Amino acid sequence: MMFGRSRFLAKSVSRNISSVNTRRLASTKSLKETIQEIVPAKQEQLKKLKAEHGQTVVGQVTVENIIGGMRGIKAMLWDSSVLDPMEGIRFHGMSIPEAQKALPPAPGGKEMTAEGMFWLLLTGQVPTAEQTQQLSLELAERAELPKFVEELIDSLPNTLHPMTQLGMGVAALNHDSAFQSAYERGIKKTEYWTYAYEDCMNLVAKLPTIAARIYRNIYQPKKSIAAIDKSKDLVGNYVNQLGFGHNENFTEYLRLYIALHADHEGGNASAHTAHLVGSTLADPFISYAAGLYSLAGPLHGLANQEVLRWQISMLSEVGNNFSKDDIKKYLWATLNKGQVVPGYGHGVLRNPDPRFVALQAFCKGHEDLMASPMVKLVAETAEVAPDVLKEHGKTKNPFPNVDAASGCVLYHYGLTQFKYYTVIFGISRALGAATQLVWARALGLPIERPKSFSIDALEKLAKN
Ligand code: CMX
């Protein structure tokens, strides 16, 4: 469902930040109050849709769809964003450039924030600056980890992949799940969403704290982690805890990256996994932990790690004064080894990913980035690779996806440990997955259970 464009035009009122950070403004509706207002209308819309069109056919399923990873089958309800193969993602009807224009930046910054995007995804509305700042404060107040989760993370070997650690930390948060304990107590179905919301807020708030702790433990074990600063937004605190708080460009980049990577409709592996697990009424922490492990595969979220590994190896071979011809040769060498070119292709998109375009535009706006050999190599690879992939003739989409661009800026700013990159993707994708976990409970969506076939049964079905 999309909300009217006029609702996007919420006023952005500038206000003294410190007053916003210390108390709730009476004139500012909270995120929960805003959702509460919308829930009945959406429930009614869905009920009407089911009553009037429950038996309307909207697509067909071929044998190829079933064998081919369910590609293209219209089979999921996901309200917060829709992906067009040519145009890319829209969040409640808003394109990336529109969201960049409309969502309020963090105080002193220019880029949209995680809070603004989370609000948009959950409500279909653009929040005011005060509302996002109020949300920042609420998240900061929830950011601290239970002692046993800190101890759990600290006890893990630093050779364990950061994504494995992240999933373990997130799953352990279910110890204090409001949803799980309310379910055990026995609550009405209509109340599910409020407890799911409570858990989702804690999930989004605590995820960066877990992620920063993992980074410090593995890569900077002797340094202490900064305390949560209640005057900062979610990403401001995260960057601070990572140890990069001095670099405002880095913080701005992460704000952009985390906001624009938050949701990519429902069928992608991580979002779908979290939704599927949530449909069993597993609480949001274990549902999203499952989503994180889905993100940790190289064809999905781990691709941003793989892109950097691949580009570093290309740079070491071609040197800083590379030509387009050098890149072309390296691309062919990769393909001839039977490997995929990481960061290229997509299950749905058939054009360059607008998230890639937005990240490249960020680079173009920063002179230091444009002077970086790694950033240059990524940009020039994106000019050469589509023709090579077309000539190779396999991939349906020869253009770069978001992962082609996301790591090179982190690398330039000194976060060079690329095994960690998917963790940042995991913080971002939580915003979309959490939105769906709240709305799936608010709309009373059932447990998922598609029909599967054996090869023999499918053959029989096709022949008949
Ligand atoms: N390099 C080389 N070959 C590629 C390719 C690439 N970047 N992308 C697709 N292909 C190949 C596929 O492996 C497949 O080959 P086979 O027929 O031998 O199996 C063929 O082209 C057709 O694939 P497709 O229909 O175009 O793509 P899929 O929907 O099956 O897969 C994706 C999509 C993203 C997994 C695939 O393009 C890929 O592996 N890309 C590289 C990894 C990557 O960047 N993943 C991140 C995607 C974004 C995200 O989820 O974060």
Residue 311 near ligand 1, beta carbon < 6 Å? no
Nearest ligand 1 atom, CA 402: 48
Nearest CA to ligand 1 atom 36: 345
CA atoms of 407 and 369, how far apart (whole Å): 12
- Rounded to whole angstroms, the Cα distance separating 460 from 321 reads 59
Is 124 within 8 Å of 8 (Cβ atoms)?
A: no
R_g of the chain, CA atoms, integer Å: 22
Q: Is the pLDDT of residue 21 over 90?
A: no
Q: What is the pLDDT of residue 353?
A: 95
Q: For 278-309, b where at least 16 C-beta lie within 10 A, e where not — what string?
A: bbebbbbbbbbbbbbbbbbeeebbbbbbbbbb
Distance 300 CA to ligand 1 centre (A): 10
Confidence of residue 14 (pLDDT cuts 50, 70, 90): very low
pLDDT at position 28 is 73
Atom of ligand 1 nearest to the CA of 270: 50
Over the stretch 324-334, which tens digit does the pLDDT of each residue have?
999 999 999 99
Q: Is 307 in the pocket of ligand 1 (CB under 6 A)?
A: no
Calpha distance 294→303 (Å, rounded) = 12
DSSP E strands in 139-209: the ranges are none
Domains of the chain: 303-412 (1.10.230.10)
Ligand 1 center from residue 441 Cα (angstroms)? 33
Name which of 20-24, 35-39, 204-208 the model is least confident about: 20-24
Distance from C-alpha of 242 to C-alpha of 223, rounded to nearest angstrom:
10
What is the average per-residue pLDDT within 44-66? 97
Q: Is 347 in the pocket of ligand 1 (CB under 6 A)?
A: yes
Pairing of strands 88-91, 81-84: antiparallel
Query: What DSSP string describes 243-311?
Result: T-TT-HHHHHHHHHHHHHTS---S-SHHHHHHHHHHTTT--HHHHHHHHHHHHTSTTTTTHHHHHHHHH
Measure 439 CA to ligand 1 centroid, in angstroms.
31
Does ligand 1 have an atom closer than 6 angstroms to the CB of 390?
no
Shortest-distance Cα residue to atom 28 of ligand 1: 347
Give the closest residue (by CA) to ligand 1 atom 19. Answer: 394
Distance CA 287, CA 445 (A): 15
- C-beta 47 within 6 A of ligand 1: no
How far apart CA 382 and CA 386 sit, in angstroms, is 7
Over residues 196-200, the mean pLDDT reads: 98
Q: In whole angstroms, give the CA distance from residue 464 to residue 461.
A: 5
**Which of 308, 331, 394, 425 has the most ligand 1 atoms within 8 A of CB, as the residue to mutate?**
394
pTM confidence score: 0.93
Ligand 1 pocket member 268 (CB < 6 A): yes
Would you say how long the chain is, in residues? 464
Tokens of 209: 């704290």
Residues with catalytic function: 300, 346, 403
